[in-house]
Structure 1
Amino acid sequence: MTAVLAWAVGGLLVAALSPLFLGSMMRRGVDPHVVLVSWGALALGTVVSISVPVILSLLPSHGGVSSLIEFAHSCWLALHDDAPARLETAVGVLGGSTLVIGAVRGTVHLFSFSRTRRELHQQHLGLLRILGGARSSSLLWLPVSVPFAYSIAGRPALVVASDGLRDQLDTEALAAVLAHERAHITGRHHLLVSAAQTLAYAFPWLPIMRSSPPLVRALVEIEADSRAVRQHGRESVHRALRSMTPHDVPVAALGIAQDCLALRLDRLSSPRTHHATPIRYLRTLAACGTAIVLPAAPLLALLGAMAMASCATGA
Structure 2
Amino acid sequence: MKKLINRPEDIVAESLEGLAISHSDILVVQPGARFVRRRTLGRGKVALVSGGGSGHDPLHAGFVGKGMLDAACMGEIFTSPTPDQIVAAINAVETGAGTLLVVKNYDGDVMNFDMAAEMCDHALRSILVTDDVSIPIDGRSTGARGVAGTLIVEKILGAAAEMGWPLDRLMILGERLVAQTKSMGVALTSCTVPANRTPTFELNDDEMELGVGIHGERGQTRVKLDNADAIARHLVSKVLQCLPVSESGDALILINGFGATPLIELNLMARSVDQAVRHAGLRPVRYLVGNYVTALDMAGCSVTITLLDAEIEALWDAPVHTSALRWGC
TM-score with structure 1 setting the length: 0.26
| Structure number with higher helix proportion | 1
- Tell me the TM-score normalised to structure 2 length: 0.25
Q: Give the number of the structure whose residues are more often strand, by fraction.
A: 2
Larger Rg, first or second structure (1 or 2): 1
